[in-house]
Structure 1
Amino acid sequence: MKKSMLGVIDATMLPGEMGDLALYRSPAAIPFAGRYRLIDFVLSNMVNSGVQSVAIFPRSPYRSLMDHLGSGKDWDLNRKRDGLFFFPSPTKEGQLDRMSEHLNYFHRSDQKYVIVSNCTTVANMDFAPVLDRFIKQNCDVLEVTHKGESTYIYLLSLELLLDLIDRRNETGYESVQAAVEDASSSLIKCQYEFEGFLQRIKTVDDYYQTSMELLEKDKWSELFNEFQPIYTKVKDEPPTNYLAGSHVTNAMIANGCIISGEVNHSIVFRGVAIGKNSTVKNSIVMQKSKIGENCVLEHVIIDKDVSVQDGAILRGTPEKPLVIKKGSVESAVTSS
């Protein structure tokens, strides 16, 4: 039964909602939790639930997203039949309009049901019981909820999805969400309450707060487990090197780093260097960024390839973390 599901990921969230983190990339491609991208979670959930065909509908800029996903090999989606499909649609605004440009994909599919999801929900979810609920309750469309609120993840039949696409001008529905939220609709609507760890990343604050939550052992364990792994693009990196004088407490450190300073309650991505007598606290430092000597970082999000010069002091607040743009050079005292 699992293999009867088709996956659709709507990766058209407006970049502006994620501020400087989405200046050069789709929100779906924003790095997260040390070695992942936001899209890795829903994509891995689909694969772990037996989905073998996934269509991604992105919004520009999507070069970084395409580079990350590649052929889908790291998610076992580089297949002769089915697999990973990428459908840019620069001229269409509505979700159903974008799907209408690729009807051949849906008509060629053998799957009977479709999971339609956003691209920035962080969770480890098995869709098999969702499908069981859908079938047992004879639903037309099922909405996944968390703590009583929508996750904007839906399950419906492929037949109904094609009907919604075909009749979109008549009904005025621009998306599956619009059909679900229409109180006058005759559709049989059901809900499935997901009880595990789940966060929808919509803003920079969401991103920062969720990242900090993952430093709590119980929440990290809910999201990452050996039975339903979260897959990502594989990169070969050496182990992290902790030099004399370094001190690390309650931190998530990826491979390939060189740590000479202090890291406390922070997330450090692959290939980061942190210099002597520098302190990184309550912060996120993304890939290949370099932190010089005698620096202080507190409540900061450092994007990729940033160079923080010796003696720089960067401070944000828990409510408003300071975001340093990708590729920047920081050499002064900066605060948010």
Structure 2
Amino acid sequence: MYSNVGRNTIAMVLAGGKGERLSPLTLRRAKPSVAFGGKYKIIDFVLSNLFNSGIKKVYILTQYRAYSLTKHIRESWGKWTGLGEFFVAISPETSSESESWFKGTGDAILQYLRFVESSDADYVAVFGGDHIYKMDINQMISFHRMNRADLTIAALEVPVAEASRFGVFTVDEDSQVTAFTEKPKNPEPVPGRDVCFASMGNYIFPTKKLIEVLQEGKKIYEDLDFGKHIIPMMLEKGDRIFAYNFNDNVIPGMKAEERGYWKDVGTLDSYYEANMDLINVSPQLNLYNYKWPILTNQGNLPPAKTVFDEDDRRGVNIDSYVCAGCITSGSTVRGTIMGPRCRVNSYSLVEDSILFENVNVGRHVKIKKAIIDKNVVIPDGTVIGYDHEEDKRRGYTITESGIVVVPQSGQVKK
């Protein structure tokens, strides 16, 4: 799992995204800090990929609503890995007065270039912090070295018909990038195939090259950005840029259906669907692969339990994903993800829903197809998800596919 390649690399993780399309879940937190799969945060996926790849020096660049994310990094990644000084969350909010909010992805790295310059690493991995996937980054670095590249960009295979939503590479037969276009009207497919290469926003640079291009770019662009500015600049100069096909990446213990799995979870509906996939009999994303674990703050919580076994009052969890500290007390939970420390009280029914941490559902409650944010208390007798007009009257968000989102705003109105 570990290799000298990873150990010779530092990582800069861009974790400042607002995630506006995930509102109201992102009203109080950045997108990378949103819960996923009950116990995890979205950022845990990229950090686990780096850690499992042996890349142990990681700077996490936060920005928007950074408090909860910084707290999570400090209490989990900085603490239990024993690598507190290497998993560092840094933010313009807590930095010197000369530093301002990031104006672009390149500008974010530029503001903290001193960390890159002072390292003895040969390579810098610049990765996003808000996607769900598993990846052995060593394989991408090996590809980068083999091609003697100035920049390697992780690429998704997407159908030509869908490629206009992405930044798309034109490549030759050796996967060398010859052009890059953001959201092209007529995307160019990979030679001899009916798919396009779309950027994942994950980059490998030789350390010296990254410093050089950022210092050149800042002379021209105030809002320096990798997609808009740096890649076109490097192409114009004739630098060697290669697209690394994410479909070629194989992790230990990986099943065939997991190959190429990557989710943006950028909308409430896509977020809900990706979570619900986890409770399928054979989910596309396998969180039970102990050869490539997704790591997070486990907390000192007791096991989940069910309480009562009477005909009209039986605690049961069916086809559900139940985290530590949960109590299902004389109620039915079906097709649902329960985050840590949730409680569902007697005679209630919760179906096809996502409960964030420490949600308390009262008695005689009915909830269907809902996302309930952290610490929300649902009073006895409340009904959510059955009458969308009533849900709207209470101020809840209803998605296009009919998911009801209950925000983190204290006690729910009956």
TM-score of the aligned structures, taking structure 1 as reference length? 0.91
Give distance in 1, aligned partners of 2:199 and 2:278: 22
Secondary structure in 2 matching 1:155: strand
Q: CA deviation at 1:330?
A: 1.8
Q: CA deviation at 1:185?
A: 5.5
Question: Which of 60, 66, 69 is the matching residue for 2:70?
Answer: 66
Aligned to 1:251: 320
Give distance in 2, aligned partners of 1:263 and 1:185: 59
The RMSD of aligned alpha carbons is 2.0
Give distance in 2, aligned partners of 1:325 and 1:84: 30
Q: Is the 8 A contact 2:73 2:89 kept in 1?
A: no
Q: Is the 8 A contact 1:74 1:234 kept in 2?
A: no
Give distance in 2, aligned partners of 1:226 and 1:184: 44
Q: Is the 8 A contact 1:144 1:193 kept in 2?
A: yes
Deviations 1:163-222 (A, max 9, x none): 122012345372223323666452322122223222122222221111111122433653
Q: Is the 8 A contact 2:18 2:64 kept in 1?
A: no
Aligned to 1:147: 157
Give distance in 1, aligned partners of 2:82 and 2:289: 18
Q: Is the 8 A contact 2:73 2:88 kept in 1?
A: no
Give distance in 1, aligned partners of 2:352 and 2:383: 14
Give distance in 1, aligned partners of 2:399 and 2:90: 39
Secondary structure in 1 matching 2:23: helix
Q: Which moved more, 1:200-209 or 1:297-306?
A: 200-209
Q: Which structure has the larger Rg?
A: 2
Secondary structure in 2 matching 1:70: helix
> How do 1:175-324 residues align onto structure 2 when only pairs under 5 Å count?
175-178=225-228, 179-180=230-231, 184=236, 186-195=238-247, 196=259, 197-219=261-283, 222-244=286-308, 245-260=314-329, 261-315=331-385, 319-324=401-406
> Which runs of at least 4 in structure 1 moved beyond 6 Å after TM superposition?
none
Q: Is the 8 A contact 1:299 1:318 kept in 2?
A: no
Give distance in 2, aligned partners of 1:29 and 1:221: 19
Aligned to 1:86: 89
The unaligned stretches of length 5 or more in structure 2 are 94-99, 159-197, 248-258, 309-313, 386-397
Aligned to 1:134: 144
Give distance in 2, aligned partners of 1:147 and 1:264: 35
Shift in CA distance, 154/223, structure 1 to aligned 2, threshold 3 Å? farther
Question: Which of 1, 9, 21 is the matching residue for 1:5?
Answer: 9
Secondary structure in 2 matching 1:329: coil
Q: Is the 8 A contact 1:307 1:327 kept in 2?
A: no
Amino acid paired to 1:164: V
Give distance in 2, aligned partners of 1:307 and 1:219: 30
Q: Is the 8 A contact 1:239 1:257 kept in 2?
A: yes
TM-score of the aligned structures, taking structure 2 as reference length? 0.75
The unaligned stretches of length 5 or more in structure 1 are none
Give distance in 2, aligned partners of 1:317 and 1:277: 28
Give distance in 1, aligned partners of 2:39 and 2:208: 38
Question: How many residues end up aligned between the 2 structures?
Answer: 329
Q: Is the 8 A contact 2:29 2:66 kept in 1?
A: yes
Give distance in 2, aligned partners of 1:52 and 1:168: 28
Amino acid paired to 1:38: I
Q: CA deviation at 1:259?
A: 0.2
Q: CA deviation at 1:21?
A: 0.7
Secondary structure in 2 matching 1:20: coil
Deviations 1:13-68 (A, max 9, x none): 12423201111111111111111111111011101111111111111311101111
Aligned to 1:329: 411
Aligned to 1:16: 20
Shift in CA distance, 318/290, structure 1 to aligned 2, threshold 3 Å? farther
Q: CA deviation at 1:239?
A: 1.0
Aligned to 1:45: 49
Give distance in 1, aligned partners of 2:21 and 2:211: 30
Q: Which moved more, 1:89-98 or 1:132-141?
A: 89-98
Aligned to 1:108: 118
Secondary structure in 1 matching 2:363: coil
Deviations 1:221-260 (A, max 9, x none): 5344111111111301111120120222211000111102
Matched, 1:162 2:162: no
Matched, 1:25 2:77: no
Aligned to 2:170: none
Q: Which moved more, 1:45-54 or 1:182-191?
A: 182-191
Q: Is the 8 A contact 2:104 2:224 kept in 1?
A: yes
Matched, 1:77 2:141: no
Aligned to 2:173: none
Secondary structure in 1 matching 2:72: helix
